[in-house]
A and B are shown apart, each in its own frame.
Chain A
Amino acid sequence: MAVDITVKIGGEAGQGIQTVGDLLTLVCHKAGLYVMAINDFESRIRGGKSFFQIRISDKPVYAPHHRVNLLVALNQRTYDSYKDELVPGGISMMDVKGEPEENQLPVPINDLAVKAGKKITANTVAAGACLGLLGAPFELFESILKDRFEGKGGDALEMNLSAARLGYDSVKDAKFPWSFTWQFGDPKGSVLNGSKAIALGALAGDCRVAAFYPMSPATGIMVNLSSLSDDFPLFVEQAEDEIAAINMVIGASFAGVRAMTSTSGGGFCLMTEGLGLAGMTETPIVVVNAQRPGPATGLPTRTAQGDLMFVINASQDEFLRFVFAPGTPSEAFEMTERAFHLADKYQVPAIVLTDQTLNDSLYITERPLSAPREIERYVVGDDQIDSPSEYRRYAITSSGISPRALPCSGKALVLVSGNEHSEDGHISEAITDRMNMVDKRNAKTPAMLEEMRPPERYHAESELLLVGWGSSKGPIRESVDRLREDGISAGCVHIADIWPFRADLVQKALSSCKSFFVVEQNSTAQLGRLIREQTGLVAEGSVLKYDGRPFFPDEIVRGIKAYLD
């Protein structure tokens, strides 16, 4: 029997939803299953309404499912809010006072926790009951708890094992229609969220200085980077604001190390002047913008794809930049590493555009993460300069790329200015200098375009194509599978290397279909507008979602079918 089960664990912030979710994820991963889990929470530390929703499958899954088989309701409000998401036969496991409803399975979670030793073990009781219902062997759970609590001191392990057993046994007579036999071989790849993938990608790209100001949903990247600094010499600076963060990063890069910052839309707004300075001074930097709905504070802990046009155009006047929008943690890792490489090579800023869904959701990543063997640095020393004492930082070259010497590393004196400048980096208002410098900076365009990889295509020969970018990749692919099951000739195109825009490759990818639809998490179809601007091709329609929650494949299928009917 194919396994495809969704478990939703809901309660107040601070109740330990995350712990139950983590335990389930670890057990499933160890059992060789695939998972994809989303985190939904409000902008508060205690109270409110949060959930962790995990989809468990024997096949790779890259999207959440909109219907729930098992609801773990840590309070009544969770049950009231989400009971309608239960599939027929689905159950809600919870503490029940009085007579249970038909779809409720009463488990005295808190009483069992007290019995195990402490109320705090309620999460382990709940996880135990969940795994019991799913038919998981208890030994598997036991081994995960040992990994987690052994060496923690005191009676933590013993207490949690007892809580796990009590929870597990409490449901042994219950019937759960989707209980299955747990035999799937070795663990598949590793469990990773986008935040950690980006942090690892930064290390793979030889990042040595990172500066940031806390902002959801980007903060996780820097928290991960900080925790990795026990293995890598790394300077992670929490700056006074985003303006300082990006400027510190430009300073660090000027001095010769690879550097990055990460933020969300509001912080990116503050960084735009600095972004322009990186453009003007041709200083390589990497900026991650983890999108959330806006404008202003918007929905701080939720997801969106509303900053595409913004990051492509951010800061005054015109200058080159790279923009990448990865679809999975594995791509986020690779693209972050590549962003460092390409920023360095072309002396331009590179932006990695992600969102709350990608940053905070757990995915199984099967492709091994690998760092380049050698970091190629595009800098020159005195020995590579004909006459170091006459070094000119912005020497005109046919490629537009001037040899980059580092300050205080030789005889070559490095002058950099955010004002328009002459070849030697000194301020200049001369017409020829202005024209030469704009043309020099723009001359990098053809080579930068060559670096951009073609969109990823799936059933590309189809009559109808869905076109998307960023984290909606998984949901779009799955919706294509479902449309095809219904006899519709559908495929999809995912654009991850977004800017500079390869109009030729996008045109080619869309040339054979009868019609294409853009699928995006914004309200004005920004990618659709970009494609039209760059290729002249007009989307037949769009499936747009801007409620701050991640895409479910089902919504896309329904959206497309509405056009076809």
Chain B
Amino acid sequence: MAVRDYLRERFFPHMWCPGCGHGTVLNNLLRAIENLKIEKNDIVMVSGIGCSARISGYVDFHTLHTIHGRALAFATGVKMSRPDLNLIVPMGDGDALAIGGNHFIHAARRNIDITAIIMNNRIYGMTGGQFSPLTGYGKLATTAPYSNIDHDFDAVSLATAAGASFVARTTTYHVKQMADIFQKAILHKGFSVVEVLTQCPTYFGRKNRAGSAAEMVENYKKSTTPIGSKASQENSDLIERGIFIEKDLPEYCGEYDKIIQKAMKGK
């Protein structure tokens, strides 16, 4: 099946701004799914609210476009009912870690087999450029005109501490790595978190003088480095990318199945 078969082109042009990184995420997600040869009928995509969540409108999968921050809770319900399906949950940084933060850490703790993608553009785009929990100290936003005093979460550390069994980070510059990580995350049996650094030239970029979209993408090349690289050891300001955690832990639905067997004693 070709990538285009997974797209709902009739809804194009999409709603993202010129230069937005979300299209790159969509592109690589579909390439990953194409490489894995997953049937449309075996995928359910659940999304919340925000620019990122609109991904679900452009893919030709069974989709559940829900409310802000709750996508993982729905996905959990779907997975509990149909453990055989692949659940993919694209979220924005605010969707995943502000309003949805509680659901995020608990989904990670359960290690339920869902692929969670955090499209981190460090801003609330759709509502007009307010700061998010990933904006970072000293940055500007429409609601932090004199600079932000909130410190940001490290999404990778948070997911790791909360118990996710697959944790990775990549950027919209590193598209081959992104597709590769998506593939591994989807195949991984357990809660997989992929943080993708993705540019919002319209709000974060403009407010923080980060340059054009191309410059922002270019900057992902300069400001990141593979996990454990020499550059990383020499310069702690560099952001590491790659797969941080990949371990085999009991998966939630599998564990629950055992409980059902135990309770029913083979009835």
Contact = CB atoms under 8 A, between A and B. Distances in A.
Given A233-B264, A244-B103, A250 B74 contact: yes
Contact of A413 (B40, B70, B73, B256): B40
B65 A417 contact: yes
Nearest to A251: B77
A448 interface: no
B220 to A, nearest CB: 30
Contact of A257 (B41, B54, B81, B264): B81
A281 B78 CA distance: 15
Contact of A427 (B41, B65, B81): B65
Interface stretch (B56-64, B142-150, B178-186, B225-233): B56-64
B66 interface: yes
Interface in B36-62: 40-44, 46, 54, 57, 60-62
Task: Summarize A's interface: helix, strand, loop or mixed.
Answer: mixed
A252 interface: yes
Give the size category of A's interface with B: 35 or more
Nearest to B85: A408
Interface string A249-281: 111111111010000000000000110010001
Interface string B230-267: 00000000000000000000000000100010011101
Nearest to A414: B62
Nearest to B99: A243
Given A230-B264, A243-B70, A244-B102, A252 B65 contact: no
B170 interface: no
B74 A248 contact: yes
Contacts of A273: 67, 70
Contacts of B12: none
- Of A208, A257, A407, A417, most B-chain CB atoms within 10 Å: A407
Interface in A403-428: 407-408, 410-411, 413-419, 425-427
A330 interface: no
A305 to B, nearest CB: 30
Contact of B80 (A235, A245, A414, A415): A235
A225 to B, nearest CB: 12
A209 B81 contact: yes
Given A209-B80, A255-B78, A231 B267 contact: yes
A407 B263 CA distance: 29
Given A244-B102, A407-B44, A251 B74 contact: yes
A547 interface: no
A415 B62 CA distance: 6
B140 interface: no
A419 B57 CA distance: 11
B82 interface: yes
A274 B44 contact: no
A244 B72 CA distance: 8
B61 A251 contact: no
A237 B265 contact: no
A240 interface: yes
A537 interface: no
A218 to B, nearest CB: 19
B76 A426 contact: no
B111 to A, nearest CB: 14
A208 B82 CA distance: 12
Contacts of B54: 427
A244 B76 contact: yes
Interface string A227-245: 0011101110101110111
A247 interface: yes
Contacts of B60: 413
B65 A229 contact: no
A416 B63 contact: yes
Given A240-B106, A273-B67, A416-B64, A251 B256 contact: no
Given A231-B264, A254-B78, A247 B61 contact: no
Contact of A426 (B11, B44, B77): B11
A288 B59 CA distance: 36
Contacts of B193: none
Nearest to A408: B41
A253 B46 CA distance: 14
B73 A248 contact: yes
B264 A251 contact: no
A255 B77 CA distance: 8
Interface in A505-520: none
A248 B76 contact: yes
Contact of A208 (B66, B76, B81, B263): B81
A411 B40 CA distance: 9
A450 B207 CA distance: 58
A92 B79 CA distance: 57
A237 B110 CA distance: 11
A326 to B, nearest CB: 26
A415 B58 CA distance: 11
A237 B64 contact: no
A105 interface: no
Given A274-B67, A427-B65, A247 B77 contact: yes
Which 3 interchain pairs have the tightest Cβ spacing? A251-B77, A247-B73, A407-B62
Given A235-B256, A256-B81, 5 more contacts: A211-B77, A247-B70, A247-B103, A426-B57, A427-B54
8 contacts: A235-B80, A243-B103, A244-B106, A254-B64, A274-B67, A281-B66, A408-B85, A416-B65
